[in-house]
Amino acid sequence: MADPLSLLRQYNVNKKEIIERDNQIIFGEFSWPKNVKTNYLMWGSGKDGAPKEYYTLECLLFLLKNVTLSHPVYVRQAAAENIPVMRRPDRKDLLAYLNGETATSANIDKSAPLEIPTQVKRAPDESIESVAKKPRLEDMQVQRVKQQLAARLDAPKEASVTVDNIKSLSEAMSVEKIAAIKAKRLAKKRTTIKGHDDIGIGSDLRVMLDFDVDITKDIISRERQWRTRTTILQSTGKMFAKNIFAILQSIKAREEGRHRPPAATPIMTPRATPIKPVIP
């Protein structure tokens, strides 16, 4: 699944345009709100029991736009525009990641819940213009080329040259000589250019194949990887610690009770039975 941090890095490295419109930050066909949280941890958060805090997409984009400013000037300008400020210890590591100098960062929390992006709808004028720019082949022309190819494939093949299926043409030429001449003619025909019936087939076939390739490329370009193995295994904010810790505590108590030595049983000493006197 696409996440805002990786797309911001991709667009920044490839120098692609990032659009800000209606409190949304748009990357091609995906958009997120400006205040959406990325999975980049703030410095000092998530340690010693402190809750985890993440930088927003607006904060990271504002840093890239003002990367040439010194940190104090950047902080004052961000505060003036009411934008969260990047903490100084994170600046170097984050810029190295966003500029493509490093492949990943230790501050990226891969287990953080990610917000699903919104699909951006194309404007009607834009879609019509894009369709008009792409060369399209008439359906009749494609159908005609397919019919010609089918006719060529269904055409009967020439019979092999044998002595049995050749009759004598004249008394002066033997059957073997006629077969040799026909075999020579067929061998020469295979190496020569075909007749006028096949003229135009190559170009039409190429156009038809280009048409299919354009359609395939258009479909592939719209495909997006929605879920990966990592995102499927990630939790969307649900905490299982309470249930798991309860199970572990019960197992631990059971194991401790099993290995605990049994209590000592008190030894009972028999008492002497008093002898009753015999009365005469």
Cα 55 from Cα 106, distance rounded (Å): 15
pLDDT the model gives residue 242: 76
Q: Report the chain's mean pLDDT, rounded to a whole number.
A: 76
What residues does each domain of the chain span?
4-121, 128-222
* pTM value surpassing 0.75: no
What band does 196 get if pLDDT is binned at 50, 70 and 90? very low
What band does 160 get if pLDDT is binned at 50, 70 and 90? low
Instruction: Dig out the tokens for 79 from the structure.
Output: 């505060």
> Token match 């985890």: residue?
52
Instruction: Report angle CA 159, 161, 163 to the nearest 5 degrees.
Output: 125
> Token match 């805090």: residue?
53
Decide: 115 and 37 in contact? Cβ < 8 Å: yes
Q: What do you get for the CA distance between the two ends of the chain, in Å?
A: 108
Instruction: Report angle CA 26, 28, 31 to the nearest 5 degrees.
Output: 30
pLDDT tens profile 176-191: 777 888 888 888 777 7
Cα 77 from Cα 82, distance rounded (Å): 9
